[in-house]
Structure 1
Amino acid sequence: MAQIDLNCDMGESFGKYVLGADEQLIKFITSANIACGFHAGDPATMRKTVRLALDHSVCIGAHPGLQDLTGFGRRNISITPEEAYDLMMYQIGALLAFITSEGGKLHHVKPHGALYNMAAHDEQLADAIAKAVYKIDPALILYGLSGSQLIQAGEKYGLRTANEVFADRTYMQDGSLTPRSHHNAVITDEDVAIKQVMEMITEQKVSTITGERINLKADTICLHGDGKHAVAFASKMSKALQNAGLVLKGISQQISS
Structure 2
Amino acid sequence: MKTITSRDNAQYKDLKHLATSSQARKKAGQTLLDGVHLCQAYLELRGLPVQCIVSETALNNPEVADIVGKIEHQRGHTIALPDALYNAVSQVEHGVGVMFQIDTPERAVPDAMTVSAVLLDNVQDPGNVGSILRSAAAAGIKQVYCSGGTAFCWSPKVLRAAMGAHFVLDIFENVDLAPLMAASRIPTLATSGYARTRLYDADLSKPVAWIFGHEGQGVADDLLSLATQTVVIPHLGQVESLNVAACAAVCFFEQVRQNQQ
Fold in common (TM above 0.5): no
Higher relative contact order (CA 8 A, sep 6+): 1
The TM-score with structure 2 as length reference comes to 0.33
The TM-score with structure 1 as length reference comes to 0.33
Task: Give 1 or 2 for the bigger CA radius of gyration.
Answer: 2
